[in-house]
Amino acid sequence: MAASTPRQCLVTGANRGLGLEFCVQLLISGANVVATTRSTGRATKLNSLVAKYPGRLHVLPLDVSDAKSVAELVRELPLVAEGPFDLLINNAGVLHSGERFGHVTAANLDDSLRTNASGPFLLSQSIAESLADGAKIANISSQLGSIENTTAFYTPTYAISKAAQNMATRLLANALRERGIVVLALHPGWVQTEMGGPDAQIEPRVAVEGLLRVIDDAGLDDSGRFFDYTGRPMPW
């Protein structure tokens, strides 16, 4: 294991897409992983990794939009995790497509904000005491949450929620700086997942390799900043 390889990691939304790929690459690197998913029973690909990495992968239920579910996870973590976490990846996210001005619903806005903004913020706050000093939190953001880059009315509830998540990233970075904890907002690129669709530009493997490199390279001076998967700074 490389010196900088995180030993104990927590990944949300780990049953598919980027979350699953984060788990695969972290396990290959030698880390222990607590992987969370809304439905542990249906997480077939994730569950199949448990036998491949005995004792190193634990799968726990978590709906990031539900405060009770977050509290339940926090109660269960000490039962499976050995020592504090070195890395939290707030990856779970939702995108309601096809939204048009005049027809955006309160339900979509509420769901997007709870899942993409409140979820990562409240989970980070709840497990802050279980993070090692010098740990890292990666909030998986999106270029669609960049206010400066927004020139059209596109995916509004997603964009609003990711912009809110970006503020959460900066605030968490400020709150946790004195413990040496680095908090990053990261755009993964346009990735071939259920969310990104088949026309997306890059494979999850490429996006996650890049994101893990950016996380690995980030120091305290980078905390509270927004980067893409190649390490390029993103405009807020």
CB closer to ligand NDP out of 39 and 151: 39
From the list 23, 35, 172, 188, which residue makes contact with ligand NDP (rule: CB under 6 A)?
188
CB closer to ligand NDP out of 74 and 132: 74
How many Å apart are CA 183 and CA 223, to the nearest integer?
A: 5
The DSSP annotation for 129-193 comes to GGEEEEEEEEEE--GGG-STT--S--SHHHHHHHHHHHHHHHHHHHHHGGGT-EEEEEE--SBSS
* Window 17 to 56, contacts with ligand NDP (CB under 6 A): 17-19, 38-39
157 is a contact residue toward ligand NDP (CB under 6 A):
no
CB closer to ligand NDP out of 142 and 157: 142
From the list 63, 99, 222, 228, which residue makes contact with ligand NDP (rule: CB under 6 A)?
63
Site size toward ligand NDP, by CB under 6 A: 29
CB closer to ligand NDP out of 134 and 233: 233
Residues 6+ apart with CB under 8 A from 222: 182, 184
CB 43 within 8 Å of CB 59: yes
CB 9 within 8 Å of CB 85: yes
CB closer to ligand NDP out of 163 and 191: 191
From the list 11, 137, 138, 140, which residue makes contact with ligand NDP (rule: CB under 6 A)?
140
- The token duo for 41 is 């029973």
155 is a contact residue toward ligand NDP (CB under 6 A):
no
Q: In angstroms, how far is the first alpha carbon of the chain from the final one?
A: 35
Dihedral of alpha carbons 193, 49, 230, 128, sign = positive
CB closer to ligand NDP out of 22 and 85: 22
From the list 64, 73, 138, 184, which residue makes contact with ligand NDP (rule: CB under 6 A)?
64
Q: How far is CA 231 from CA 11, 174, 207, 227, in A?
A: 20, 21, 11, 5
Residues 6+ apart with CB under 8 A from 68: none
206 is a contact residue toward ligand NDP (CB under 6 A):
no
200 is a contact residue toward ligand NDP (CB under 6 A):
yes
CB closer to ligand NDP out of 39 and 48: 39
Residue 114 Cβ vs ligand NDP, minimum distance, rounded to whole Å: 7
From the list 8, 9, 10, 16, which residue makes contact with ligand NDP (rule: CB under 6 A)?
16
Strand, helix or coil for residue 110:
helix
Q: Which residues bind ligand NDP (CB under 6 A)?
A: 12-13, 15-19, 38-39, 62-65, 91-94, 115, 140, 142, 187-188, 190-191, 193-196, 200
